[in-house]
Chains A and B, each alone.
Chain A
């Protein structure tokens, strides 16, 4: 994993690696071979499994569906386009216009073909002529100019008459140029002319294929339920109820031709021959004269359809800005929006945004004793490496504090489960000293400020000097001397609870065995990349009770989960695998 230690990655229950909860951990033995792990039988999530990466996500990548009460990963939601807009002029384009005109802005938003900066409409300065009469109005002329590299449309000898409706003027100018260049070739040259212009080719191809589709009786929509979809059905029905004319009847009786491809230039297809034509001669002589910078790059040619055929930099056309979309995300199972942005382009708020962060208990891991007395203020940390980056020593027991933070407004009861040894080639022993505990609800900030911290058990109120010192410094005096005990919670705040986890990293090399190993066994013990990372899979199960209110589902709807009537308590549960990355084991 590329994340910095310590990290927590959460697994979405959609993957078959994670869908089965562990059966019973006390029966776990550590004899399973690395190569033979069958995840469905084992039921432990193996973070070193090659497919595990596809199921693990950091918490900020996950959303939550509250209808299904489960985590949704990017594979579990479908994206839906809410609207299209131009990023330059922020104009919202209706989807009908997008279907007809294409996915580019049709309003004056163009980018420079040389440097991709936005082009602005500027007036062409008028020649100050001494002979200009005062009554004569100046000729209005406009051009598109790049603010960054100073490219302008005057480089391709193009001037506009008005500052608005640039798209129309560009289309007209383009038609004028392509028809002028094709008109220059005489009819006998046209036969040898190998390539036709992009626009004529596109137009011929679309008409040809549309014709083919209607002629060949293509099955339009295999999912539609009309009785007239197959050509045989249609012909039969038309025969029964009478055809329209002789030709129509004849056509319906004949077997429809299969669809074919375009064959010649009239249909839009052009082939390149081996003979050099004069047209190419001109291009090659021009190429010899110019330098590398005067030719177009592939990127420039692909930037917009008018540039597809341009070979030289002085043929480049301004690039229309591509439209962007606003997407909403829907849960695949229940089709509810889990993320829905505002449809107004300038509003960046979301109408619906169900983040996993706000619905799922979060886990954090840190070492109990930090080796160097680092200053508590992260701004003063000089070096990137902190205690978690140092490599772990094999067979040396380490203690970590695992904190569970509860984002929802009810008290939850958390049960943690982890295999006794980590799955994978390197077996480290994991022990959670207190696997089952409650975590308080998240409340408003005022709750904490107004009420005293009665939940905190580390500061005593007995009026002694120790307690007074503790309340001044903000931490318990016995912090450094506390020993972790099995079955006890380490720390508890308003909405988080910490427990101790003891980890004994395993050795990277297996112990030397008396019996010589076969080649297969030796190969199986070789460590791949990232096998030395100590990752602890933890199965988290949270249970809580919540009160149903009438707003959460439509009146009259029967939901099998919510048996209770309005106001009754219902118990809910959420369970998921997550992987805690602890560190790398030193060789």
Chain B
């Protein structure tokens, strides 16, 4: 029996390893889970105390991605534009991006919350303390004012409670810090993998 050249076949069938190592600047206090995915050739900046959950995807293929201090990116969320786009994505401070959300925005203001499975289109600019409810869409190019709430299949309103009362904003900030503390205890940090 002749031996078949198996090695070449094996190479072809193996999945292609990422060719480029993403240049990441991860703050030493940030937590990036082991199963998180950071891809792309552009820079990725992760700020102080930020938390990236397992299976979150950060695509720096079209432009750089900046995640601000005290922000959280939950499981299966996708931050960054897809193939073919050319755009940076900047996430502000204290921003919560819930499970499954797709963020292709140009800028998300401080203190915003993007709820489960929401879709933020390309080139959008969200103001500070915005809230996009679950399964909502913000179409490409839109600009949301500060304190805007997107809810109920496309309806918009201004969150007066947040706008007129700084103590409520302060309470939100404190709440976000507490969540981050909790996640710090639960997630083992594997940021060294990307540094």
Q: A115-B151, A150-B149 are in contact. Are A126 and B167 (CB under 8 A)?
A: yes
Bitwise interface map of A from 128 to 155 toward B, beta carbon under 8 Å scored 1, else 0: 1000000000000000010011111011
Q: A152–B161 contact, CB under 8 A?
A: yes
B83 interface hit (Cβ, 8 Å): no
Give the contacting residue for B171; candidates A114, A125, A148, A150; CB below 8 A.
A125
Interface of B is mostly: mixed
Q: A145–B161 contact, CB under 8 A?
A: yes
Bitwise interface map of B from 163 to 179 toward A, beta carbon under 8 Å scored 1, else 0: 01101101100000000
In the complex, A293 Cα to B148 Cα: how many Å?
13
Bitwise interface map of B from 144 to 162 toward A, beta carbon under 8 Å scored 1, else 0: 0000010110011101111
Q: A115-B151, A115-B152, A148-B151 are in contact. Are A125 and B157 (CB under 8 A)?
A: no
Give the contacting residue for A155; candidates B151, B161, B167; CB below 8 A.
B161
**Which residue on B lies nearest to A128, using beta carbons?**
B170
Chain B nearest CB from A122 CB (Å) reads: 9
Chain B nearest CB from A215 CB (Å) reads: 50
In the complex, A155 Cα to B149 Cα: how many Å?
14
CB interface residues, A 108-133, toward B, < 8 Å? 114-115, 124-128
Q: B157–A293 contact, CB under 8 A?
A: yes
Q: A124–B151 contact, CB under 8 A?
A: no
Chain A nearest CB from B150 CB (Å) reads: 9
User: For residue B128, which residues in chain A have a CB less than 8 angstroms away from its CB?
Assistant: none
In the complex, A114 Cα to B160 Cα: how many Å?
13
Give the contacting residue for A149; candidates B152, B170, B171; CB below 8 A.
B152
In the complex, A152 Cα to B161 Cα: how many Å?
6
User: For residue A151, which residues in chain B have a CB less than 8 angstroms away from its CB?
Assistant: 157, 159, 161
User: For residue A149, which residues in chain B have a CB less than 8 angstroms away from its CB?
Assistant: 133, 149, 151-152, 157, 159
B106 interface hit (Cβ, 8 Å): no
Q: A125-B168, A125-B170, A126-B167 are in contact. Are A154 and B161 (CB under 8 A)?
A: yes
Q: A115-B151, A149-B149, A149-B151 are in contact. Are A125 and B161 (CB under 8 A)?
A: no
Most buried by B among A126, A150, A152, A154: A150
10 further A-B pairs in the complex, CB-CB below 8 A; given A125-B170, A155-B160? A115-B155, A125-B168, A125-B171, A148-B151, A149-B157, A150-B159, A150-B162, A154-B164, A154-B168, A155-B161
User: For residue B170, which residues in chain A have a CB less than 8 angstroms away from its CB?
Assistant: 125, 128
In the complex, A154 Cα to B152 Cα: how many Å?
21
Return the 9 tightest CB-CB contacts between A and B, nearest first: A125-B171, A152-B161, A150-B159, A155-B160, A149-B151, A125-B167, A154-B161, A127-B167, A150-B149
**Which residue on A lies nearest to B150, using beta carbons?**
A149
B122 interface hit (Cβ, 8 Å): no
Chain A nearest CB from B20 CB (Å) reads: 41
**Which residue on A lies nearest to B160, using beta carbons?**
A155
In the complex, A520 Cα to B64 Cα: how many Å?
79
CB interface residues, B 78-94, toward A, < 8 Å? none
Interface of A is mostly: loop
26 A-B pairs within 8 Å (CB atoms) are namely A114-B157, A115-B151, A115-B152, A125-B167, A125-B168, A125-B171, A126-B167, A127-B167, A128-B170, A145-B161, A148-B133, A148-B152, A149-B133, A149-B149, A149-B151, A149-B152, A149-B157, A149-B159, A150-B161, A150-B162, A151-B159, A151-B161, A154-B160, A154-B161, A154-B168, A155-B161
**Which residue on B lies nearest to A155, using beta carbons?**
B160
B76 interface hit (Cβ, 8 Å): no
User: For residue B53, which residues in chain A have a CB less than 8 angstroms away from its CB?
Assistant: none
**Which residue on B lies nearest to A126, using beta carbons?**
B167
In the complex, A531 Cα to B32 Cα: how many Å?
67
**Which residue on B lies nearest to A149, using beta carbons?**
B151
Chain B nearest CB from A393 CB (Å) reads: 46
User: For residue A293, which residues in chain B have a CB less than 8 angstroms away from its CB?
Assistant: 156-157
B131 interface hit (Cβ, 8 Å): yes
Chain B nearest CB from A67 CB (Å) reads: 49
Q: B133–A124 contact, CB under 8 A?
A: no
User: For residue A114, which residues in chain B have a CB less than 8 angstroms away from its CB?
Assistant: 157
User: For residue A145, which residues in chain B have a CB less than 8 angstroms away from its CB?
Assistant: 161
User: For residue A124, which residues in chain B have a CB less than 8 angstroms away from its CB?
Assistant: 167
User: For residue B133, which residues in chain A have a CB less than 8 angstroms away from its CB?
Assistant: 148-149
Q: A150–B131 contact, CB under 8 A?
A: yes
In the complex, A114 Cα to B167 Cα: how many Å?
23
User: For residue A127, which residues in chain B have a CB less than 8 angstroms away from its CB?
Assistant: 167
In the complex, A115 Cα to B157 Cα: how many Å?
10
In the complex, A145 Cα to B131 Cα: how many Å?
15
In the complex, A155 Cα to B157 Cα: how many Å?
12
User: For residue A148, which residues in chain B have a CB less than 8 angstroms away from its CB?
Assistant: 133, 151-152
In the complex, A470 Cα to B167 Cα: how many Å?
79
In the complex, A293 Cα to B171 Cα: how many Å?
28
Bitwise interface map of A from 153 to 181 toward B, beta carbon under 8 Å scored 1, else 0: 01100000000000000000000000000
Chain B nearest CB from A434 CB (Å) reads: 56
**Which residue on A lies nearest to B115, using beta carbons?**
A148
In the complex, A127 Cα to B170 Cα: how many Å?
9
In the complex, A330 Cα to B162 Cα: how many Å?
53
Chain B nearest CB from A44 CB (Å) reads: 50
User: For residue B151, which residues in chain A have a CB less than 8 angstroms away from its CB?
Assistant: 115, 148-149
In the complex, A154 Cα to B160 Cα: how many Å?
8
**Which residue on A lies nearest to B169, using beta carbons?**
A125
Chain B nearest CB from A517 CB (Å) reads: 55
User: For residue A152, which residues in chain B have a CB less than 8 angstroms away from its CB?
Assistant: 161
Chain A nearest CB from B34 CB (Å) reads: 33
Chain B nearest CB from A328 CB (Å) reads: 36
**Which residue on B lies nearest to A125, using beta carbons?**
B171
In the complex, A152 Cα to B160 Cα: how many Å?
8
Most buried by B among A125, A127, A148, A151: A125
**Which residue on B lies nearest to A124, using beta carbons?**
B167
In the complex, A508 Cα to B14 Cα: how many Å?
64
